[in-house]
C-alpha cells in the first residue's frame, strides 16, 4: 500500500511542479511583452528617419580641428543612439 501511495504522490508532485513552472513562465512572458516605444522622436531620429538601427556620429574621414573639438566638447564619442546631438554629425 505504501508503494502505491508513494508512486501516486511522486506523480502528483511532479505534475504540480511542471504546472507551476509553466504558469510562472507564462506569467513572465506576458508581463514582459508590453514594450512601450517612446512617443516623441529625438532630433537625430528625425534627421535620419530611414536609419532603423541608428547612425554612428564618428566620422572616419578627414575633418577640421574645430569640428573634432566640437565633437569632443559635446561628448559625441560617448553618445548613444538616439540621444545624439545633431552637432555631432558633419554638415
Same domain, 58 and 90: yes
Residues 90 and 61 in one domain: yes
Residues 55, 29 share a domain: no
CA distances from 55 to 8, 14, 59, 61 (A): 61, 52, 11, 15
71 vs 25, higher pLDDT: 71
d(CA 88, CA 78): 11
Supply the pLDDT for residue 47.
84
For the stretch 19-51, pLDDT in tens is 888 888 877 776 666 666 656 888 888 888 888
pTM for the complete prediction?
0.47
User: Are 49 and 91 within one domain?
Assistant: yes
Total number of domains constituting the chain: 2
Q: What is the pLDDT of residue 69?
A: 92
Parent domain of 11:
1-34
Amino acid at each position: 500500500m505504501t508503494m502505491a501511495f508513494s508512486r501516486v504522490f511522486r506523480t502528483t508532485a511532479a505534475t504540480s511542479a511542471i504546472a507551476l513552472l509553466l504558469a510562472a513562465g507564462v506569467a513572465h512572458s506576458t508581463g514582459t511583452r508590453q514594450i512601450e516605444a517612446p512617443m516623441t522622436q529625438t532630433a537625430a531620429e528625425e534627421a535620419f528617419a530611414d536609419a532603423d538601427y541608428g547612425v554612428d556620429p564618428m566620422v572616419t574621414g578627414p575633418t577640421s580641428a574645430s569640428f573634432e573639438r566640437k565633437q569632443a566638447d559635446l561628448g559625441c564619442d560617448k553618445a548613444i543612439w538616439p540621444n545624439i546631438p545633431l552637432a555631432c554629425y558633419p554638415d
